Amino acid sequence: MIYFEQLAYLFAATMFIMGLKYLGSAKTARKGNLYAMFGMTLAVAITLLISGIIGPAQMIIGMIVGSLIGAVVAKKIEMTSMPQMVALFNGFGGIASTLVAFSEYMEPSTLPVTMDVQITIVLSLFIGTITFTGSLIAFAKLQGLMPGRPIVLPLHQILNIVLLLATVVFGVLNVVEPSLPLWPLLIILVAAIFGITFVIPIGGADMPVVIALLNSYSGLAASATGFVLHNNVLIISGALVGASGIILSQLMCEAMNRSLFNVLFGAVGTDDSSGNAGTGGGEQKTVTRYTAEDAAMIMDTVQSVIIVPGYGLAVAQAQHVLHEMGELLMAKGIDVKYAIHPVAGRMPGHMNVLLAEANVPYDMLYEMDDINDDFQNTDVALIIGANDVVNPAARTKKDSPLYGMPILNVDYARTVMFVKRSMGAGFAGEANPLFFDDKTMMVFGDAKAVVTGLVKSLKEE
Amino acid sequence: MESLIVSIYVFTLAVFIGFELITKVPPLLHTPLMSGSNAISGITVVGALLAANANNWAMSTILGILAIVFAMINVVGGFMVTDRMLAMFKKDKKTEKGA
C-alpha cells in the first residue's frame, strides 16, 4: 500500500512538472493547467484513500468550504485585481503550511520526533507565517486598504535583525526543549511581525517584485511542510513554485534596473495608488497640446503604429476601446502592434492578461526585446498611460533613478504620441524629456475618454 | 537523519527542474504562471488532510481542518482563475495582420 501511495504521489508531481512545461507556450498553456489540476486531484484523492476511504466528515466539509470560496473568488475577480488576488492566495498557502506544521508539532504523526523534524517544523512555521502576514500587507497595499507609499519605522532594519535573531533563538530552544508549546507560538508571533515589517517599507510600484517573492515563499513553505511530513510530493511542488517565484522576482528587478536587495531594503519605491497622477503640471518648458481629433487625423495617414500600454490604461479601463481602435486602424490597412514592457502592469505579465481580456490577439503583443528594433521603422508610437518605461533619460541621464533601466525605444519612431492625464512624472519622479521633443504630440486626458475620441474620429474619416 | 538527506536531494533536484521549466515560460504568460503555481503550492492540502484525519476534536485536528480550508481556496481558486485567464488568450483569427 505504501508503495502504491508513493507512486501515486510521484505521478502527481510529474503532472505538475508537465503542467509547467506546457505553460511554456500559449498554445499548450491551458492543457498544462489541466495537467496540474489532474495532478492535484490525484494527490488529494490518494490522501483521502489512505486515510480510510473517505475519512472523517470534517475533512470533506473543510474541502467543500475551501473549494466554494476559491471558486467564487476565481469567477468574480476582475482581471485588474489579479495582483491582489494572487497576493491573498499566497498568504493562504502560507497560513496552511503554518497550521499543518503546528498541528504536527502538537500531535506528531511519527514517533519519536527526531531533531530534523523539530528543525523543519520551526522552518515551516517561520516561512509560512511570514508569507501569511507579508501577503496580507501586500494585499492591503494593492487593494488600497493602506497607503502604497513605503512605511519605514524608526530603526527598521535593526528591528528586522532583532526579529530574525529572536527566531533563531526560539528555534534552537524549541529543538532543545520541544515539550514547551511556548516556543513554536513565539516563533509564529515573531514571524508574523517580521512578515509585516518586511513588506511595509516597500512601495506600491515595487509590488510586482514582492508578489513574486511571496509566491516563492508560499512554495518554500509547502516544501518545508513536506520536510516535516517526509512527503515528497509537497517537497517537489513547493520547490517548483519556489523556483518560479524567485525567477519572476529577478526578472521584475532587472526590468526596473534594481537589485532585489535594493527593492527589499532600499525603501525608495514611491506611492502609485493613482496610476500616473504624479505631481501635476508646473513644468516650465512648453509642450505641444493636441486633441484626439488631431491624433486621429495623423494616424489616418500613416502605415504603422506601435501601441505602448501602461498601467494608466488599465486604471482608466480603456483596454476594450483600445482594442476597437486597433481594429479600426487595421481595417484601414495600418500595421498595428502592441509593445509590452515587463513592468507594464502590477504583476509579471499583467498587461498581457488585461489586453487578452479585451480580445487583443496574443500574437499582436510583443515583448520589449522583440520589438525595440522596430520603432525606428514605425510612423507612430502611441503611449497610453505609461511614462517611466519609455523615458529616454534612462539611457543618458546618469544621475537619474531610471538610469540603466531597459526602456521601449519609442523615441526612435517618427511621431510619438502620449495620452496622459497630466504632465506629471512617473513613479521614479524623473521628468520625461520626450514630452518636449518636436515630434511629440501630447494628448491630455483620461485614457478612456481620449481613445474613445480617437475611435470616433477614425470612424468619421 | 537519513530521510532528511533524501528530502534534501529531492528538494534540490526539484529546484533545478523548476528553474529549467520556468525560464522557458514567456513573459506573455507570467501572470497565469503565478496563479497556476500558486494553486500548485496549495499541495499543502495533502498535509492538511493528514493532520485533520482524526476522530476527535483535538486542537491538532481543528488546525488541520482550518488548513484544509485555506489550502483548498488556494487550489480551486488558483486553478480556476488560471484557466479563466488562459481561455482569454486567442490567436488572431484573421490572416492579414496589418498591411
CA distances in angstroms from A262 to A42, A54, A132, A193, A203, listed in the order given: 42, 50, 23, 21, 12
Q: How confident is the model over A338-391, as pLDDT tens digits?
A: 999 988 888 899 999 999 999 999 999 999 999 999 999 999 999 998 888 899
As for how many domains chain B has, the answer is 1
Residue A43 · residue A234 · CB < 8 Å = no
Q: Which residue type sits at A369?
A: D
Distance from CA of A367 to the nearest CA of B (A): 7
Contacts of A359 in chain B (CB under 8 A): 88, 90
Contacts of B86 in chain A (CB under 8 A): 29-30, 33
Q: How far apart are CA A46 and CA A112, in angstroms?
A: 26
Domain membership of residue B18 (yes or no) is no
Mean pLDDT of chain A: 87
ipTM of the complex: 0.92
Q: What is residue A305's three-state secondary structure?
A: strand
CB contact under 8 A, B31 and A347: yes
Average pLDDT rounded to a whole number, residues A227-256: 93
For domain A292-460, give the CATH number.
Answer: 3.40.50.1220
Domain membership of residue B60 (yes or no) is yes
Report the range of poorest mean pLDDT among A145-149, A383-387, A439-443, B45-49: A145-149
CA distances in angstroms from A229 to A16, A97, A129, A410, B14, listed in the order given: 20, 11, 18, 54, 17
Q: What's A363's DSSP letter?
A: G
Chain A: residue whose CA lies nearest to B1: A116
Mutant choice from B15, B17, B24, B34 vs A, greatest count of A C-beta within 10 A? B34
**pLDDT at position A274:** 37
Distance from CA of B64 to the nearest CA of A (A): 6
CB contact under 8 A, B74 and A63: no
Q: How confident is the model over B7-24, as pLDDT tens digits?
A: 999 999 999 999 999 999
What separation, in Å, do the N-terminal and C-terminal C-alpha atoms of chain B show?
A: 67
Burial class (CB in 10 A: 0-12, 13-18, 19+), A156: middle
Residue A119 backbone dihedrals phi, psi, to 5 degrees: -65, -45
Give pTM, 2 decimals: 0.88
The total of other beta-carbon atoms located within 10 Å of residue B87's CB is 12
Chain B: residue whose CA lies nearest to A340: B28
Contacts of B48 in chain A (CB under 8 A): 62, 96, 99-100
What separation, in Å, do the N-terminal and C-terminal C-alpha atoms of chain A show?
A: 74
**pLDDT at position B94:** 56
CB contact under 8 A, A33 and B86: yes
Q: How far apart are CA A64 and CA A72, in angstroms?
A: 12
Q: Which residue type sits at A245?
A: G
Q: Residue B58 is part of which domain span?
A: 29-88
CB contact under 8 A, A244 and B22: yes
**pLDDT at position A185:** 92
Percentage of chain A surpassing pLDDT 70? 94
Q: How confident is the model over A22-63, as pLDDT tens digits?
A: 999 999 999 999 999 999 999 999 988 887 655 678 888 999
CB contact under 8 A, B7 and A232: yes
Average pLDDT rounded to a whole number, residues A291-319: 89
Query: What residue segments make up the domains of chain A, in order of their start?
Result: 1-76, 93-273, 292-460
Which among B47, B53, B81 is the nearest to A85, CB-wise?
B81
Contacts of A211 in chain B (CB under 8 A): 34
Kindly state the cell numbers that stand for A346: 502590477
Mutant choice from A63, A121, A123, A347 vs B, greatest count of B C-beta within 10 A? A63
pLDDT category of residue A452 using cuts at 50, 70 and 90 = very high
Residue A279 pLDDT > 50, yes or no? Answer: no
Q: How confident is the model over A159-195, as pLDDT tens digits?
A: 888 999 999 999 888 888 877 788 889 999 999 999 9
Q: How far apart are CA A413 and CA A9, in angstroms?
A: 54
Q: How far apart are CA A278 and CA A430, in angstroms?
A: 10
CB contact under 8 A, A59 and B27: no
Distance from CA of A234 to the nearest CA of B (A): 6
Q: How far apart are CA A116 and CA A120, in angstroms?
A: 6
Which among B65, B74, B83 is the nearest to A92, CB-wise?
B74
Residue B37 · residue A217 · CB < 8 Å = no
Active-site choice (A388, A399, A437, A438): A388
pLDDT category of residue A277 using cuts at 50, 70 and 90 = very low
CB contact under 8 A, A66 and B28: no
Q: Which residue type sits at A188?
A: I
Q: How far apart are CA A94 and CA A128, in angstroms?
A: 4
Which of A411, A416, A424 lies closest to A442 in space, CA to CA?
A416
Q: Is A116 a catalytic residue?
A: no
Kindly state the cell numbers that stand for B31: 501572470
Mutant choice from B40, B45, B94 vs A, greatest count of A C-beta within 10 A? B40
Residues 6+ apart with CB under 8 A from A44: A63, B45, B46, B49
What burial letters (b/e) apply to A86-120, b meaning 16+ CB within 10 Å?
bbbbbbbbbbbbbbbbbbbbebbbeeeeeebbbbb
Contacts of B9 in chain A (CB under 8 A): none
Burial class (CB in 10 A: 0-12, 13-18, 19+), A357: buried
Domain membership of residue B71 (yes or no) is yes
